[in-house]
Amino acid sequence: MPAIGLVYDGHAQHLPPASARATHIETPERVSVIYRALGKARLLDRLTRVAPREATRAEAEAVHTAEHLDALEALADAEPSLRGAWRGGAGGGWSLGRDMFHDAQTACAARRAAGGVVALTEAVLRGEISSGFALVRPPGHHACEDRMAGFCFLNSVAVAARAALSPRGGLRRVLVVDWDVHHGDGTQAIFEEDPAVLFFSLHRFGRGFFPGTGAASCVGGGAAAGRTVNVPFRREGMGDAEYLAAFDALLLPIARALPSSSSPPRAHPRLARDWAESRREPSIRSSSSSRPASTRRAATWRTSRGAGAGPLPDSSLPPSSPP
């Protein structure tokens, strides 16, 4: 059986300005500590290394506008600084803020992060590895087609998904599952009208939590209605049990029911909205049981929802035809 692949690129030269280096959270250590943990757990020897590479302009332009990519390239000659988000279009440009930082290495780091995910995806498609883990920075899921924000410059997952859907990649459908605590607003915006991509996100939501998007009612549009599934957790404390319950009750049934045609299953918006809205307050109750808390949470959740959602009935799906 093919091994699991690993792409690692911490790009140590992409650094916050000296004034923010001790406090900014997007630093090389964010990924190097994970790499060291893999080594300590003796997992590195069991992984097949895949060499990172820079994403090409054509690969990036399958997701981002030419203006976006030009603005990213211009950072190589700009004075290193802290800024807010960048937006394209009339009246766009950089806003004031301290979230985003850039230096002469930022554009290269973003291209290598995106290219590393593409390289890993291509290795899976060639059958060289069964799956893979891309340990790269900067991150990407807040980057839109014409916006850089939330530490993100290029949307690496979106670039890899589009590469997989290209004639060279050969896929007809891609599932993107985003379980970061923040909603992947950039990834959603890129694919919300693309019926070839099912985007599934679990995240904190409400009370001003960044980025403020990802309501359960956002389900995609046009031919891709139902291909965006948001599970907005409205309070802290969600752990393994809650995430596994969401995978069991929502993700797996929806993914299995996804037809090969370009028409989305009509049940998706209803299923996503009803289930996620029922999680306004997690079903975590005090108990004198000696079972571990995570086990009690899973049991309580299943009791409140039944034994779990099985595959969607055939009647919920439109007639299937080749894409």
The Cα-based distances of 232 to 210, 243, 278 in angstroms read 12, 11, 10
| Residue carrying the six token digits 């699991």 | 4
Q: Contact, 151 vs 175, CB < 8 A?
A: no
Which residues of the chain form beta strands (DSSP E)? 3-9, 47-49, 81-83, 86-87, 93-94, 100-102, 129-136, 147-148, 174-178, 197-204, 228-233
- Name beta bridge partners: 231: 202
Q: Which of 14, 68, 102, 142 is catalytic?
A: 142
CA distance 189 to 213: 10
Is residue 142 flagged as an active site residue? yes
CA distance 108 to 127: 28
| Residue 100, SS3 per DSSP | strand
In tens, the pLDDT along 215-226 reads: 999 999 999 998
Q: Is the pLDDT score of 254 beyond 80? A: yes
In tens, the pLDDT along 163-212 reads: 999 999 999 999 999 999 999 999 999 999 999 999 999 999 988 999 99
Q: Is the pLDDT score of 41 beyond 80? A: yes
